[in-house]
Amino acid sequence: MDLLRSLPIGLYLEHPLTWLHRLDPRVKMFWLMSFLLSPFLANPWYRLGIVVLLFLVTIFGMIPKRVWWQQIGWLLLICFFVFCITLLLPDGMKLLTQPRFMLDSSVILPTATNYRYVLVDLPIWGDDFRLTITRRSLNLAVGTSTLIFTLIYSSTLYLLTTAPEEITAGLEEILAPLERWKIPVTEITLTLTLALRFIPLVMEEIQNLTRSIRTRAINWQKLGLKNGLKIWLVVADRLIENLLMRAEQTAMAIDVRGFTSPNEHRVLWHSLKFRRVDWLLLGALLPFWGVRVLWGGM
């Protein structure tokens, strides 16, 4: 299994270059923060709309299907399990209803509305175990699953269409006013660039260790739980050791090139310039948040 191809989390898609790649990284950063912040305290219908919007952006963004199909499949599977578990668990509300006045049993009052708090109430094993789905559990299930999907997939889509150097340049431009309070913005963005560049190395090390385990044809049934756990602890220790060695090699490469401070060795990663489509998408944030305030709920 090739993790770098089947699960491209945090990797940049260099080819083909879509219109999402050509957008200014600052505009994409503003939209990413909007996707991350707007679902909080929103109603389930708004969160479902965000999920549909992310699907439409992926499809109309002309991103190859081979890149996002398998990844989004695993993510949808995880969200489906979260939805089912949250839906079937108790909603945490113990509602006991009783009439306010003593009524004659022969008197039948018509119901004012068809509202029902308990949507499904089926006995599984008698009255001891019942399948109960309420409106609150349904809202929690939809809200939790869509929130997980939005947080993970929007960030992945941003990293997929934005180079690490563009992210660094855009974030440095956005955080530039903080330099007045002596906040090391350049150092922070440099650290972010190195962290993004380090993600493929982590995936590669995990892939190599996984292949090394598979090639040895270990019989896990004969080993048992205790011995199998020992092997995985050895693998985890080896993974941490390899990652620390890669980090040391990166630090030595920076030191050899004479990099002492970002201010003395400033590198212009990317030339930032707003185009017409950038201004249009930046202006589209106003109706986006307008929909959130008017119909998104609190």
pLDDT in tens, the chain (298 residues): 454 555 555 577 777 888 888 888 889 999 999 999 999 888 888 999 999 999 999 888 888 887 777 778 788 888 999 998 888 887 665 555 555 555 555 555 555 667 677 777 777 776 667 777 888 888 888 889 999 999 989 988 888 888 878 888 888 888 888 888 888 877 787 777 777 778 778 878 888 888 888 787 777 777 778 887 888 888 888 888 888 888 888 878 777 776 766 556 555 556 678 889 989 999 999 999 999 988 887 6
The whole-number pLDDT of residue 1 equals 45
Tokens at residue 234, please? 């050895």
Long-range contacts of 42-46 (CB under 8 A, 24+ apart): 42/292, 42/296, 42/297, 43/139, 43/296, 43/297, 44/138, 44/139, 44/142, 44/143, 44/146, 45/295, 46/291, 46/292, 46/295, 46/296, 46/297
Please, which residues bridge with residue 161 across strands? none
Question: For the chain, where are the E strands, in sequence order?
Answer: 118-125, 129-134
The whole-number pLDDT of residue 98 equals 52
How far apart (Å, rounded) are the C-alpha atoms in residues 4 and 184? 33
Q: What is the DSSP letter of 148?
A: H
The whole-number pLDDT of residue 280 equals 93
Handedness of CA 46, 48, 50, 56 (dihedral sign): negative
Q: What pTM does this model have?
A: 0.74
